[in-house]
Chain A
Amino acid sequence: MISAIQVSNLSKTFVVPEREAGLKAAVKSLVRRKTKEVKAVEKISFEIAPGEVVGFLGPNGAGKTTTLKMLSGLLYPTAGEVSVLGHMPSRREKSFLRQITLVMGQRNQLVWDIPAMDSFELNRAIYRIPVEEYRRTRDEFIELLEMKDLVRKPVRNLSLGERMKVEIAAALLHRPQVLFLDEPTIGLDVTMQRRIRTFIGEYNRRHGATVLLSSHYMADVVALCRRVIVIHHGKILFDGDLNSLVGRFSAYKTIGVTLTNGTVDLAAYGDVIERDTTRVTLRVTKAETPKVTARLLADLPIADLTVEDPPIEDVIELVFAQEKPQ
């Protein structure tokens, strides 16, 4: 199968000015400006199949946004090759731009001072959407995202969550085949996050769109992505199945124990990481988990016992801590 997105040895280096603090340094920098090279993305390679939803994870400054901007043609790579739907993004071919979209949670494509509906009309003209198709899509999105009352208000009057709903609708009006989503749920409450992620999932199912999703909220990633790419300091640390990420990087499991007669000291069974009046949470190595579980069941009056992988956030932290590119 031909990949929707192909990235090979992609790099981006920025030249940024730097100087010491103080007036002397400020004056000196007028004559002799110091700069340094910052490697935002360094020789990353990956492929994404059509219709695949991939999580793109990394801490702040890891190179996620820079990568997404290069994939959408907003930034030109310093080196390497990119192909999205068979196009080279930096060429800005209209047939390419009409098939993609980029949603940046911390930017806006809707003009703040006018209602979203007016900006939708601008997008209709720019993306050459036939009137009937435009109305059908717009009305479908208005219904799915429950934003009937929002689209006629100036965007600046909307809450963050409401604004993100209309931003996403605007970005998808032309029914793009590839979605680059850069923290689309940032700053939203849990309900709104869920609504946005359900909408993205629904869009992917209905239109078979390819999605590359960057998010700091693991709930988004767990709900939408089977595959994740983890990037740190501009390099890919992991690319694969989300479950295998946990398997590969986490050496521990957590065992939650509820006893019928209150808590006792369970330190002999593993590291106690949490304890309340009725429940104790233990951390044990993966290898010892079956043995410890059996011992707990044999030794103690257990009311409830759960064995879980550590939270995905913890696993991601472990990945960042290791920092060994694959």
Chain B
Amino acid sequence: MSVAVHQMRASYAFVERNINIVKRYWAWEVVWLTYSVVNSLSVSYIGFGMEKLGGQGVDSRFLVLYLAIGTIVWRYLSAVFYWVTDLIGIERWEGTIEYTLMAPIQRITHMLGQTAFAVVYSLLHTGVILAATVFFFDIRLTNANLWGGTLVLIAGSFSFIGISIVGAVLPLLFPERGSQMTHVIIALLLLVSGVYYPVEVLPGWLQALSRLSPATYVLEGVRATLLDGAATLTLWPYIWPLLLIGTLTIPVGLRVFRAAELYAKRAGKLARNG
């Protein structure tokens, strides 16, 4: 049997393991999903709030949809980010890090399984939030290009993988609080990517940074498909930067991770103690 088939099987085994872990923490999943839905609804209500606060000529329904897309897309991208960065965090939590890093598989096999699970999990998680938001605000998506939006989201996942792999280095290098340190990356992306506002409101230097954030293109692309009903064929200007960012950052992420793994093995940082 070919090496590729074996590696795919091993990747799938990690997907299966993560499914088992999620199933085990089902109560947490319910809580997290509820929190995510409520959070998205709260942010979307700002749209109605703007009208009430004296906004003249504010199209509150447009604003609600604008914010809802922002929060839903952000939930999706951050879910992908956190699951991929959890590559090491999950091993630390379960106490299996030394064994997993000693296993006879390529690191990319491990990452592939974690990433595949991250994308599927995040799509399902976000789907529920989207359904709840659409139902709650009676949003009509009749003119929206849902397939186009999904395509941009998937391209966005690809672009986030490299960044997330770099993020996964933090729990590897910092046995204590390394997982929490990954928040700084997601916070910076949140600031510059125009999740809740157009990036044009940012100072010039932050606007320049926003062009480096894949989330900017995902949000612009999804908004174009859901707010304006942009056709799939017109989405290329949003998709190619995402593919480019992914193509550049994934190899960089893998190299950084490899170097960090070597360092951790030299410095004895795999285990928190002993």
A residues with CB within 8 A of B: 14-15, 65-66, 69, 72-76, 90, 94-98, 102, 104, 106-114, 118-119, 121-122, 124-128, 154
Contact of A98 among B10, B13, B104, B266 (CB under 8 A): B104
Provide the bound-state CA to CA distance between A76 and B266, in Å.
5
Assuming A74-B270, A122-B16, is B99 touching A109 (CB within 8 A)? yes
Chain A residue nearest to B102 (CB atoms) is A74
Chain A: minimal CB distance from B5 (Å): 10
Query: Which residues of A sit under 8 angstroms from B14, Cβ to Cβ?
Result: 122
Most A C-beta atoms less than 10 A away, residue of B20, B21, B105? B20
> In the complex the two chains form, what is the Cα distance from A73 to B101 in whole Å?
10
With a cutoff of 8 Å between Cβ atoms, the chain B residues found around residue A74 in the complex are 98, 101-102, 265, 270
B270 neighbours in A (Cβ, 8 Å): 74-75
Shortest Cβ gap from A69 to chain B (Å): 8
Tell me, yes or no, whether B271 is within 8 Å of chain A by CB. Answer: yes
| Given known A-B contacts A75-B268, A118-B20, A154-B24, A94 and B102 have beta carbons under 8 A apart | no
Given known contacts A118-B17, A121-B13, A126-B104, is B96 in contact with A109 (CB within 8 Å)? yes
Are A65 and B274 also in contact (CB < 8 A) when A14-B268, A94-B105, A154-B24 are? Answer: yes
Cβ-defined contact, B21 with A113, below 8 A: yes
Which 4 A-B residue pairings sit nearest by Cβ, starting from the closest? Answer: A125-B13, A97-B104, A109-B99, A94-B104
Indicate with 1 or 0, residue by residue over B12-26, a CB within 8 angstroms of chain A CB atoms. 111011001100110
Contacts between the two chains (Cβ within 8 Å), count:
87
Q: Which residue of B lies closest to A78 (CB)?
A: B266
Q: A114-B17, A121-B13 are in contact. List 20 more A-B contacts (CB 8 A).
A: A14-B267, A14-B268, A74-B98, A74-B102, A76-B265, A76-B266, A90-B265, A94-B105, A95-B104, A97-B103, A97-B104, A102-B98, A109-B96, A112-B94, A113-B21, A113-B94, A121-B16, A122-B14, A122-B17, A125-B10
Taken together as a complex, chains A and B put the C-alpha atoms of A75 and B268 apart, in Å, by 6
Chain A nearest Cβ from B83, distance in angstroms? 16
Q: Measured between alpha carbons, how far is A162 from B37 in the docked complex, in Å? A: 41
Check B52 for interface membership: any CB of A closer than 8 A.
no
Query: How many B residues touch the partner, as a band?
Result: 20 to 34
B139 at interface by CB-CB < 8 Å = no
B9 within 8 Å of A (CB atoms): yes
Query: Are B24 and A126 in contact, CB atoms less than 8 angstroms apart?
Result: no
With known contacts A76-B262, A125-B10, A125-B13, A104–B98 Cβ distance under 8 A: yes
8 sample A-B contacts, Cβ–Cβ < 8 Å, listed by A number = A15-B267, A69-B98, A90-B265, A107-B95, A108-B94, A114-B20, A126-B10, A126-B13
Beta-carbon contact of A111 and B94 below 8 Å: yes
Chain B residues with CB under 8 A of A98: 104
Q: How far is the CB of A295 from chain B (nearest CB, A)?
A: 52
- Within the assembled complex, what's the spacing in Å between the Cα atoms of A121 and B14? 10
